[in-house]
Structure formats: structure tokens, C-alpha cells
Structure 1
Amino acid sequence: MRFPIKQIAAATLLSLAAAAQAQALKAEVIHWWTSGGESAAMHEFANAFKAAGGTWVDNAVAGAEPARAAAVNRIVGGNPSTAAQFNISKQFHDLIAEGLLNDMDAVAQKEGWDQLFPAPIINSVKVKGHYYAVPVNIHMPGWFWYSKSAFDKAGIKSEPKTVDELFAALDKLKAAGLVPLALGGQPWQEKITFDTLLANVGGKDLFMKVYRDADPKAINSAEFKRVLATFKRLRDYVDAGSAGRNWNDATSMVIAGKAGIQIMGDWAKGEFSAANQTAGKEFGCFPGLGSNSPYIISGDVFVFPKTSDAGAIKAQRTLASLMTSPATQVAFNNKKGSIPIRTDVDASKMDVCAQTGIRIMKDPSRHLPNAEMLVTPDVNGALQDVITKFWNNNQSVDDVVKAFASAAKG
């Protein structure tokens, strides 16, 4: 049987075009998700991309700051990755200002991101009318995680609802021979602990005046000084091995029942899941002190470095679409410990902690932007230095107030 030369040529061209297209759909992704729960979550993105016919090149860098530095160095050096992880913050805004990122407006418009995402998130990732980052989750950094067995051993009958009840619970845990507060003594973890107390003890209004406005009156107020004193009081409830401990190692202490409480973002839930523990059974969670506590909004985004390569742009847009699709959102966030970025997903199979977060997110009055959404990275770093110095040294509250006010000015 003979085939017409034109048909053979056409078939060959189509085959070559298909091969070129498949080869073009390749994505190198820089991120810092290296713990067990984080890695399992990241695989959901990788699997979705592979299912779409793409080749996923995983570039995991231990530590958020080293990962961001690696991504920026690659961008500036002219050899960018396809995508890179940042937090929902102002961390990537300098890259936008320098024209070093591709926008995802085509995907955003097609899929209606303006209607899907919460306003505080849009305000962070949509700059001058353009979507320069793709949000993939909503984390709340101020969750309280506790061991059910530790609470039982200490005779704690209910979750603390006030700061006084929190310290009463910590005292009972200490008396029972347990580590009351599992804390990784690293600056960013100490800052999360402080911000959680600022939101819960100081309140939403004080939080915004301190961070967004750098209001000297608020920083010098009796309320802010009370927050600082309360924060330092927690120092008496951590163990001697706290200094330098990784966050997931602190979570492991709660998982093992050696420690009672950890104040940490809901990414910690991924570690409980990886240890085959179930929310409400082996461990408990509460998103703050009291039924109307502020819900601090944080999370992760991926940015897409500037490129004119058609294959790379297609891979970037494919990633943006897949990462925010309903099915991938549920699968990813179930393993990450966070809640979906979009409001139209079926969350019926998510755990009780996630259900609580989703319910709270329906009440905008409880939304509170995290500090990194309100200040520049330089100011945030300076404030973090003030807080970690206070935690680890013998300083008066008045001296810390002066240092904080100076750092907040930028």
C-alpha cells in the first residue's frame, strides 16, 4: 500500500509539532517545602502538571529565605526558573517594580479571580491592575495546636478562651512534667508568637495601627506594652532545647505528647497528617483566644519570572490554572494544612480545623492581613530583630517600645 507523500509529510509535521509542544511544557519550580507534610502537598501540584502532559523539575531549597534568594539570583542572572515560591506579602513587589515578572492576567480574566479570591489576598498579588502572583492557599499563622493526651494528663478540660486561661493551662502542663509550649527558637517563629498575641491580646485595631500605620501613639500605648509583657511571660514555658529548633521538630513534640501547645501556622497540620493523627482525636486546634478572635491571613504564592519564550509562558499559565483549580486546591490544601484560596470548592472532606478556618473566612470582619502584607521586607526584618532580641535578652518593655518605634519608621 502506498501513502501520498503530502499525507506522510503532513503527518510527520503534526508529529513533530506535538513532540515540540510536549517538550515545551516543562516547568522548573523553586520552593522551600521540604518537610514531610509540605513535600506531600507539593506533589499534588507536580502530579496535576504531569497529568496535563508537562515535565515537572522540582527545585526544593531548605529554608524560605535561601529559596527566595536563589530565585531572585536566578532572575537577576538571566537564568530564571519557570516559577518560584514567595509568601503573600510585599516580598516580590521589588521584582514587579523592576519589570522582572510575567503577569497572569490572561488566566485571571478567564477564570474570574477577581470574584474568587478574598480582598486582602487580591490587594497583595494584584499590583497596578495586574496579577503578578498566583495565590495557592490561605494560611493562618496564629493557630494553637495541642496534644489531647497532654491535656488529659494535665487535667485541662477545655480549650483556653482568654489569655488568663491560656496561662492557667500552661501552668497545669508544667506541673504535669510536660513542656508547656513547644517553640522553635528561631526569629521568625518568635515573631509569629508575638504577632499572635498582638492580634489576640491587643486586638485587630491595635495590630493595624502598629503595623500598617506605624502609629507612635499606639506603639507607646499601655495596650501595646501589655502585649510585649505577655509575650515575654511565655518565655517561662519553653524548654531548654528551644533555641534553634525547627518548627516541624516543635510540632513533633506535640505529636508525641511530650509538649502541650504549639503556636504555629496551619501548615503544622500537615505534620500531624503525615503522622497519621486526626484533628479532634489525637490533637486539637483553635484559631485564637475567644469566638471572635482576628483571623490573620497569610499564605503562599508563586511568581513567574519574565520570559518571552512561548513554551515557558505556556508552562507558566498552565501552572497558574492548575494550581488554582478546584480539585487541585482541595487535594493540595488537605495535605498542606491550609484552606483553599477560592470560595467555590467542595470542602466537605476537609478536617475540622480546615472547616473552622473556612467558616471564619466567610466573615470579613475577622480578616486581618499578616504583618508582611503591611510593611516592607526591610521593616519586617528590623521588627523581627527587635522581637527576637527581647525574647532572648533581659530588656525592659520601655526599651523595646523605643526600638520597635524606631524600626517601624523604616
Structure 2
Amino acid sequence: MYHLSKLALAAAMLAAPAAHAQSRPTAEVIHWWTSGGESAAVKQVAQAYRNAGGAWIDTAIAGGDQSRAVTINRIVGGNPPTAAQFNTSKQFLDVIEQDMLNNVDDIARKEGWDKVLPEPIIKVIKVDGHYYAVPLNIHMQAWTWYSKAAFKKAGIAKEPATVGELFAALDKLKAAGIVPLAHGGQSWQETILFSAMLSNVGGKDLYLRVLRDRDQRAIGSDAFRKVLAAFKRLQAYVDPGSPGRNWNDATAMLISGKAGVQIMGDWVKGEFTAARQNAGQHYGCIAGFGPASPYLIQGDVFVFPKSSNPKVIQAQKLLASVVAAPATQLSFSQYKGSIPVRMDADPGKADACAQKGMAIMKDRSRHVGVSEIYLTPDQNGALQDVLTAYWNSGMTVEQAQKRIASALRD
């Protein structure tokens, strides 16, 4: 009898943790953070959710397009995740219009988003007066990164301060036998190079007239022709292995000193961090050329598929509050390379490049969205198609102008 009682007690003790786990708010989260730095970053959010009393089920799917497709298919198929990652863009506008997301208005009101969030972010996550996504971070798409070791080997003593000086540095790297520009030949990466030239060569006014306003006169202007010429000029500095290369493999070329420069979003910092390289010591970062250069804002958000199940809603609300917290955003960004959406996060805990970004974000005149914020997915895809064709063929500048004008015509 005593033996049976001991068995019953042991069984009860084993069952208790399982019952406790089942009683906790449980969130299945779909995301595409699979590289070294990204994986380390999302673990910070998962741990913060667990610390808040939730249970995190991780569904990582490599590739943004694939991950978004799985999310949408599961929502349409009636088996949605608790939450899913999207970029800060119009990627999820169709899902909102189909009434497939729960809003997060209560979190937005509590945190005062109308006053504290940058306008480009509000314009995509707030639709018809309701907030439908919780922003986690801010990425700047068009940073210029460089290897300190590669610059030293090429005899480049001064960080480029203008686009002209950048091209001069690329020439010196090439002469030194170093791959000047680490690039992955994929359409979205070419769009980033184009955006960098549009913002730095064309300036904020031309950038907005082309992408936000789709102004045909601006697209046909001499100023835009110079932007396209600068974009195509960059191709002379990439290596033959560029086509199809992933962005993090291009970053690895800087980490090893094989390449000198990469123009890419600040998520590459996660790769530097994972490789134990430090900003200012092993690599440098340039947020833009000139004190008024636009800061191209994008980032990551979580959306919450529609549900009337109280347990699902409880899990969603808990995750939303965790993601909105400054501490979560800061710990995530330290691994991801981004900066927090919350500007009240402590910049003293950020690296040198992140501190540059956080300082720039205090100047609202420099806040500009990436192309995906202003263009629909179809428009953005059409623009990418033209840019990639121009990059990889003998298409002239004038032909590219005409095709871009057609792609962005209302």
C-alpha cells in the first residue's frame, strides 16, 4: 500500500509540470530568422515571453517569401499560428483587408504609439484607424559597411564621406586585389543598392518623388538618370561569384577580409556579433553620406491572426506586450543589428553603429520609408524586375528610366 502511494505521488509530481505548461499562454510563432545572428536575436524574444509566463513554440522557415507564404496559407486554411513575423511594409495589407488579423489597439493606446512611433511605420501598421501589428525594431536598409583590415591593406586611411569618396575607396580595394563590393546577386539586394544610390546621390526630395509619389517627371529627370548610372557603376566592383549569393555569405567576406565594402541593412551586424567582431575595431559603418541623408526605415513586426479563442487571445496579448517592452527590443536588437522602435531604450547599452542610428532617429526630418512602405507588393516587384534586368544586362540608362516609369505608373 505504501509502495502504491509512493508511485501515485511520483506520478502526480510528474504530471504537475505538464499541467502547468498546458495552463500557460502558448504562442506558436512563425518567423524567418534562421541565420546565426537572427537565430540568437529571436531567442531573446522567446525567453522574454517565457519569463512573462508564456510557452513559446518556434516555427522558423528560411526565407521571407516562403515564411510569409506559409503564414498566409495557414490563415486561409483555418490553421493559423498565434503570431507571425512580417516586415514593416504593405506585405500584410491584403490580410488586414480580408479581416484576418486581430488588432492591437489596446497596446498602441497604452504605449502612446500615435506620438512616439516614426510616421513611416505608423502608415503601414495603422489601417482605417486600427493598429494591426506590433513593431519590434527599426532597420536601416542602406548602411555602408567596411572591413577595417581590408581598408588598411588597400591604403585607405579615411572613412568615405561622400559617394565620390566611396567609389575612390572601391577603386583602391580593387587595385589591392581585394573584392571591392561584397554583393549577393538577388533582386532584393540589388534594390538595396539602388535605394542607397537614390537616397545618397538623389537626396530625400528625389527619393520621395520617385518612390512615394511615383512622379513621372522625376523618374524621367537628369537627376534620376545620374542615380541609375551610379547604381550600375557599382556592378564593376562585384566578384564573379556574386549571382545568387545570400546576404550573410556576402557579410562573411567582410568578416574574413576577403572583401572591403557591403551595402546592406543593419541586420548584418548580427553576423559581425556572432563572429565576435566589434564596431569601430574590426569594421566601420556609414549611415549615409552627408548630415541630411535620409535614414531608410524598415523593420520587423508581429501580426496576430484572427481568433475568438480566449486562450489564443490571451497568448497574443501577452506576446504583444512583451514585444512592445523596451528591454525586449533592446536585447533583440543587440543580436539582430537593428535599433529599438522605442526611443526611450538606453543607447548606452547599444554598440557604436546602433548609437549612430538612434541619434539619427531623433531627427524626424531624416525619417524616410523603404520602397516597400510606399509601394504595393506588385509595384515593388515590378521595380525589382527592372532593376535586376538593368543590373544583369546591357540595358541603357534611358531604357531603365522608361521601364521604371512604366512599372510605377498609376
Q: Structures share a fold, TM > 0.5?
A: yes
Distance in 1, matches of 2:44 and 2:20, equals 25
2:118 alignment partner in structure 1 = 118
2:4 alignment partner in structure 1 = none
Which SS does the other structure have where 2:306 is aligned?
Answer: coil
1:8 alignment partner in structure 2 = none
User: What's the offset of the Cα at 1:27?
Assistant: 0.6
Which SS does the other structure have where 1:314 is aligned?
Answer: helix
Cα deviation code 1:152-174 (max 9, x no counterpart)? 00111111111211110000000
1:11 alignment partner in structure 2 = none
1:183 alignment partner in structure 2 = 183
For the structure 1 residues 22 and 114, does the alpha-carbon distance in structure 2 shift closer, same or farther, using more than 3 Å as the test? Answer: farther
The reply on whether 1:261 has 2:261 as its aligned counterpart is yes
For the structure 1 residues 111 and 213, does the alpha-carbon distance in structure 2 shift closer, same or farther, using more than 3 Å as the test? Answer: closer
For the structure 1 residues 21 and 111, does the alpha-carbon distance in structure 2 shift closer, same or farther, using more than 3 Å as the test? Answer: farther
Distance in 1, matches of 2:406 and 2:42, equals 39
2:44 alignment partner in structure 1 = 44
User: What's the offset of the Cα at 1:365?
Assistant: 1.0
Distance in 1, matches of 2:21 and 2:112, equals 27
Equivalent residues in 2 for 1:82-93, closer than 5 Å: 82-93=82-93
Which SS does the other structure have where 1:348 is aligned?
Answer: helix
1:12 alignment partner in structure 2 = none
2:222 alignment partner in structure 1 = 222
2:83 touches 2:304 (CA, 8 Å); kept in 1?
Answer: yes
Normalised by the length of structure 1, the TM-score is 0.94
2:380 alignment partner in structure 1 = 380
1:138 alignment partner in structure 2 = 138
1:394 alignment partner in structure 2 = 394
Question: Percent identity at matched positions?
Answer: 61
Unpaired segments ≥5 residues, structure 1: 1-14
Matching residue's letter, 1:61:
I
User: What's the offset of the Cα at 1:113?
Assistant: 2.4
1:149 alignment partner in structure 2 = 149
Distance in 1, matches of 2:60 and 2:97, equals 26
Which SS does the other structure have where 1:302 is aligned?
Answer: strand
Cα deviation code 1:285-318 (max 9, x no counterpart)? 0111123211111111111000001111111111
Unpaired segments ≥5 residues, structure 2: 1-14
Distance in 1, matches of 2:118 and 2:130, equals 16
2:24 touches 2:53 (CA, 8 Å); kept in 1?
Answer: no
User: What's the offset of the Cα at 1:212?
Assistant: 1.2
Which SS does the other structure have where 1:202 is aligned?
Answer: helix
Which SS does the other structure have where 1:261 is aligned?
Answer: strand
Normalised by the length of structure 2, the TM-score is 0.94
For the structure 1 residues 401 and 78, does the alpha-carbon distance in structure 2 shift closer, same or farther, using more than 3 Å as the test? Answer: same
1:62 alignment partner in structure 2 = 62
Which SS does the other structure have where 2:277 is aligned?
Answer: coil
Matching residue's letter, 1:284:
G
Distance in 1, matches of 2:204 and 2:306, equals 37
Report how many aligned residue pairs link the two structures: 395
1:207 alignment partner in structure 2 = 207
Distance in 1, matches of 2:137 and 2:285, equals 19
Distance in 1, matches of 2:183 and 2:367, equals 25
Cα deviation code 1:88-107 (max 9, x no counterpart)? 11111111111000001122
1:22 touches 1:53 (CA, 8 Å); kept in 2?
Answer: no
Which SS does the other structure have where 2:348 is aligned?
Answer: coil
1:22 touches 1:54 (CA, 8 Å); kept in 2?
Answer: no
Distance in 1, matches of 2:142 and 2:21, equals 44
User: What's the offset of the Cα at 1:22?
Assistant: 5.0
Cα deviation code 1:24-79 (max 9, x no counterpart)? 51111111110000000000010011112211111111100000001000001110
Which SS does the other structure have where 1:395 is aligned?
Answer: coil
Distance in 1, matches of 2:192 and 2:178, equals 23
